[in-house]
Structure 1
């Protein structure tokens, strides 16, 4: 029986919209609206969906870089949202994040030894300067960079090298969970596979658990044990990676998968083109949020929000078309 490292229950993150002379709240952007899932030790859970679906906000809320509106997150037995500032600082040792843009997430005015070594200054203030630099050099070597680069600045590196520095920073405090927020989307295709292979190696080497956030299902497939598909603030399907790719049940998942090229000459996949645009998270559609773009929608889809239910062994879906 796998052990749960992270439990997310009915997570909601709303951003207020203000207006008028008094700046009163007039509405909310419902970026994340009732998301629930578990993450097991040593696995990689992929979160995928179009831009604006709430996947990055989910990751940042779990880290409490954004404060939640409602819900519960249990990390390694601790309720993250009830922790005080000092307690949360301690938990941050075990929860780290890799950001999408490896340039904007690194301070251009600091050398590599300061960027990575900053974690030691906060969490190990008694560590001597030389010890910090030795640890930083080791981390650079682990991620495939020359340890002599510790005195260089971010602008002296390529995009792939900068992302390796970000990965090294996330490893500094020996975390249990790393949330990778689109870590390869800003990189050239030729570099993406190198970074994915690095993340895969590091997971085995340090027994890491990942939440891997991306908009590209073909990228997620290489790394994820299970995959959750998000649409307009909700998870619409969650299953084992192989199961999801071979037997997608939700129409939205099928549409996303249909866009992935098949690497075989002469073999084509039927392309499913979704009509219309993604609705606004300020005023999402009633019932199933996908019904405005779903080619199979029924009357009930407009009126009733489908429950997120298990329809096969560990295969969950929120769709009125699927019997469970």
Structure 2
């Protein structure tokens, strides 16, 4: 589709684990055959439990780690096989904001040097005066000032450090920003400030985000569409209203049942999943969720589900929806929620 900024097909990220003497190496399948698209100007949220492959997916897309297999098309350009040298001009199109705002900043560099570095590397400014002027402009855009430019990361709070990280990402005027749990290390009050800042920057600079998080409330607040991951695969994908009001996959239903309600008198049925998440080194056959699924059928144990469309912009990977009647019922439930 012409409005897709990013198209990912069959993306895999495997990590080899050496076996014993005479044994072939096995692989940790962190990301396993993932397909999805991100449209221009939207926020695509990715949620799931810790270890499901969210962060690895983000790093693979911008090639901070080399994908094992698959296609990554960014702004119409296939980049999955690009060398580091070929990726350099692409870095101006896609940037990353990391989870830990302290570990991602060089403690020996001043904020001025941290934000100026991408400007210098990509030749976006020609003189020291021009660079300093651009740095101050970027700092002001994220809520800081030229007063902060000569200070070092250890002199800032977590929220301020994350603002510096955002300013550094904005320096090259990217089209896509991959935010890897950018507010999970911050206090709740600071989280809202950073989220509001990211929303404002999105409007002002026509940005597109991939927003990775495990906090479903945060993802609902900022995202336009949401993908739910489990053990290296998407299990459900759709616009946030359809997905949150009418979750279809048993895993999504269990996740949303655990979201707290800000009303002590309200009652909510909690879905408790049995067992632990299987190892990505030896994932289950068929549907990877079948070992914990309360609605598991016999075919789930041997046959991986396809991607079924059950709404205008709502997709689910589950055998429960492989018949036209099941899709029709799911669509009717979605329409009922929409018209409430």
Normalised by the size of structure 1, how large is the TM-score? 0.96
Structure 2 equivalent of residue 144 of structure 1:
143
| Inter-partner Cα distance in structure 1 for 2:234 and 2:126 | 43
Listed one character per residue, the Cα deviations across residues 150-170 of structure 1 (whole Å, up to 9, x for unaligned) are: 110000000000000000001
Taking only aligned residues, the RMSD between alpha carbons, in angstroms, comes to 1.5
**How many matched pairs?**
323
Gaps of 5+ in 2: 328-340
Indicate yes or no: 2:65 matched with 1:73: no
Runs of 4+ in 1 over 4 A off after TM superposition: none
Q: CA deviation at 1:132?
A: 1.1
Q: CA deviation at 1:146?
A: 2.0
Structure 2 equivalent of residue 30 of structure 1:
29
Stretch deviating more after TM superposition (286-295 or 307-316): 307-316
Structure 2 equivalent of residue 7 of structure 1:
7
Structure 2 equivalent of residue 225 of structure 1:
224
Structure 2 equivalent of residue 301 of structure 1:
300
Q: CA deviation at 1:2?
A: 6.7
Q: CA deviation at 1:277?
A: 0.9
Q: CA deviation at 1:190?
A: 1.6
Normalised by the size of structure 2, how large is the TM-score? 0.92
Q: How does 1:118-197 map to 2 (within 5 A)?
A: 118-124=117-123, 127-197=126-196
Gaps of 5+ in 1: none
Structure 1 equivalent of residue 202 of structure 2:
203
Listed one character per residue, the Cα deviations across residues 66-110 of structure 1 (whole Å, up to 9, x for unaligned) are: 111111010001001133333210010010000000000000000
| Inter-partner Cα distance in structure 1 for 2:53 and 2:84 | 25
Structure 2 equivalent of residue 63 of structure 1:
62
Q: How does 1:309-320 map to 2 (within 5 A)?
A: 309-320=308-319
* SS of equivalent residue, structure 1 residue 28: strand
* SS of equivalent residue, structure 1 residue 222: helix
Listed one character per residue, the Cα deviations across residues 296-321 of structure 1 (whole Å, up to 9, x for unaligned) are: 11111111111122122121101112
| Inter-partner Cα distance in structure 2 for 1:201 and 1:57 | 27
Stretch deviating more after TM superposition (152-161 or 138-147): 138-147
Structure 1 equivalent of residue 333 of structure 2:
none
TM-aligned CA distance change 1:126 to 1:239, over 3 Å: closer
